[in-house]
Structure 1
């Protein structure tokens, strides 16, 4: 079994929910879309920050 290391630079997005609370979303555009479906999001704003995500995936 081999494992591949994946590295991706992603933007940090601040999501504002209906009740006014805020949460950070990392993981790219697809993760923002998923969060929009999971939470009562009313707006999304890029914070100007980027983070490097790394993960292993089994083949």
Structure 2
């Protein structure tokens, strides 16, 4: 889950969204930017899917 204006600022909603993540936090747009910059700057990373999901792909929490 990435924080967007669509999610609002209600504390109950924020806590619910945090509970969905294994890391207990909501991602930011900067997390996406960092992943994109990593991929664009890396000359030796090819053909990969980079999960920027706070651990949700691991399926354990």
Query: Higher helix fraction: Structure 1 or Structure 2?
Result: 2
TM-score, reference length from structure 2: 0.29
Structure that is richer in strand per residue: 1
TM-score after normalising by structure 1? 0.29
Return the structure number with greater relative CO, CA threshold 8 A, min gap 6: 1
